[in-house]
Amino acid sequence: MCGIVAYIGPRDAAPILLEGLQRLEYRGYDSAGIAVAPPAGAKGAKAAKGARGAHQDAPRELRVRKTKGRVADLAETVPARFKGGAGIGHTRWATHGEPSDANAHPHTDRAGRIAVVHNGILENADELRARLRDEGAEFLSETDTEVLAHLVSAQLAEADGDLEEAVRRSLQQVVGTYGVAVLDAEQPDRIVVARNGSPIVLGIGEKEMFAASDVAALVRYTRQVVHLDDGELAVVRADGFRTFTEDARATAKQPSTVDWEVGSFDTGEYEHFLAKEIHEQPAAVERTLSGRIDDRFATAHLGGLNLDPREARAFRRVKVLGCGSAYYAGELGAQLIEELSRVPAHAEPASEFRYRNPVIEADTLYIAVSQSGETYDTLAAVQEIKRKGGRVLGVVNTVGSAIARECDGGLYLHAGPEISVASTKAFTSTVVAFALIALHFGRVHDLSPADGRRICAGLKALPDQIRQILDHEKKTGQIAELAKRYADHPGMMFVGRVRGWPVAREGAQKLKEVSYVHAEAYPASELKHGPLALIGPELPTVAVVPDDELLEKNLTTLGEIRARRGRVLMVGHTAPDVKLAEDTVLVPRNEPELDPILLGIPLQLLAYHAAVALGRDVDKPRNLAKSVTVE
């Protein structure tokens, strides 16, 4: 889980690589490095500090800089004269070996001629390392990636010095997942990239080419991109590219246009991306809804599902798969689908799904949820379902991503790029997308036109209601003040019933992600079956209490907590008796089925302000990365 950037063209690569890595730092950020091939006239150039020691007879060596820490730390080590028009860069989130200078990418062979950056995990790295050691290779890191650098170097002789052939033969010996970029000091006119389970995107410029693991690194320079498929390689030169498979068959790729703006990758008026993205939610929800509400028939217009009404009615069950916040959004989505269409629906962590040898049913519709569209556990679940003949839809934010391409149909969120590791606008837009799906399925089944119109009106009201919540916080600072008080506690309990339960789970997830305050979510109805033993003055409870048919039962739970001297922060529609909740945050009412979307917004603000109060690295919380492309 990390970021890759590559450039080849007439400009110096180093500044472009560093700028691209800064845009990808949210994907991994414990170490960073770049390697640049010296210009063609620089024969015999010595490797820069940080590169592997080279044989004196090596005619050309790469210039390498890498360091533990952030991209800013790396930039301080790169000299002004770090020339070369071809280079690769990497920012890392550790999977093999602790963060250190030695374990940072790029990794090179012994001669300093070959450099590799790699996302993913090579499962047979130990076996390959032992074989290469027997052949004389010396290893300086704990990483699996270094194995690949030595392997490519060893294959060069057998491939008559042909870099793409050497990379192709090397990858045929590898077991595992990878997104890689390979640079050869002796062939500075090309970079070879490859993908298997970890994204690689090519960027097409004017007499220059780019490659990256995420389009975020490319949008400043080009909007024309090509997504590699699993098992595909590309040779990238300044004047173009060529793609082919691991068995050397040529492939044809058509560029697509990225519609993200460069400004989306700046914090603008906000201190953090997380704050910016929370406040972008009204516009993000508007984009998710745009063109998808059919007032005439009180339904949703979702041609991307690729399901006609007869096919939609044939499904007897819906299974939603996602990881982390996408899973919690899937829980809300399953609830919406079941409530509006009366088709049984259930959400499950995608990371566990394929390991229990699931039964794939012909009359079950599977929906995969991923903000990045590249989450490996979710992608693997999709592939398992497809392998067994199941029908899969995707709900993703990134156009052209692997999950989007694997699925039979689905919805793009159009939420815009999300840079902060903790998901907010993508989470909210995902739940809105599920509301559209639930409305569509409901009207295909037995949801009345009157109820359809009611849900359509509720969906249209969401953006302005989210603005109301955010504007109220800007004016009053209520949640920021509450966050300062509650952040001093060692932990917090989050509770909710039915519609409020997934909201509570996501609220607890956000708090622990960005503030490092321990948070546990529990169904409010289950407190008395064990967790009530934890309740006391030292453990505050955040209660999600919509004004629905379970209001009285939720208030009874608050009474149980207060009777044990527990402090309660209630998020709901109506302020209860002061004896039941010490603090209350109110949100506007929508339709009961859609209220959870609004109830989640204050919990995002609570987590953000708690993290700020505690001095946390809000956008890059420790140990986490945005796009989880390994198991």
Radius of gyration of the chain (CA): 26
How many residues in the chain? 631
Catalytic residue status for 626? yes
Q: Is 236 exposed, middle or buried (0-12, 13-18, 19+ CB in 10 A)?
A: buried
Q: Which of 276, 510, 620, 626 is an active site residue?
A: 626
CA-to-CA distance for 437 and 305, rounded, in angstroms? 9
Residue by residue, DSSP assigns 107-121 as EE-TTS-EEEEEES-
User: What strands lie across the sheet with 191-196, from one edge to the other?
Assistant: 107-108, 114-119, 178-184, 191-196, 232-237, 240-245, 250-251
Neighbours of 453 (CB within 10 A): 14
CA-to-CA distance for 487 and 549, rounded, in angstroms? 32
Nearest to 494 by CA among 510, 514, 516, 477: 510
Nearest to 228 by CA among 397, 402, 383, 393: 402
Cβ atoms of 292 and 436 within 8 Å: the answer is yes
* Phi-psi label, residue 198: left if phi above 0, alpha if psi -120 to 50, beta otherwise: beta
CA-to-CA distance for 115 and 622, rounded, in angstroms? 28
CA-to-CA distance for 608 and 618, rounded, in angstroms? 7
Q: Is 268 exposed, middle or buried (0-12, 13-18, 19+ CB in 10 A)?
A: exposed
Q: How far is CA 265 from the centre of its chain?
A: 15
One-letter identity of residue 192: V
CA-to-CA distance for 17 and 4, rounded, in angstroms? 9
Q: Which of 2, 323, 407, 456 is an active site residue?
A: 2
CA-to-CA distance for 130 and 153, rounded, in angstroms? 16
Which 3 state secondary structure label does DSSP give 477?
Answer: coil
* Separation of first and last alpha carbons in the chain: 10
Which 3 state secondary structure label does DSSP give 350?
Answer: helix
CA-to-CA distance for 416 and 277, rounded, in angstroms? 9
Nearest to 344 by CA among 358, 332, 334: 334
Kindly give, in sequence order, each residue whose CB lies less than 8 Å from that of residue 335, ignoring residues fewer than 6 positions away. Answer: 345, 498, 499, 502
Catalytic residue status for 579? no
Kindly give, in sequence order, each residue whose CB lies less than 8 Å from that of residue 557, ignoring residues fewer than 6 positions away. Answer: 495, 497, 524, 525, 527, 543
Cβ atoms of 323 and 629 within 8 Å: the answer is no
Active site residues: 2, 626
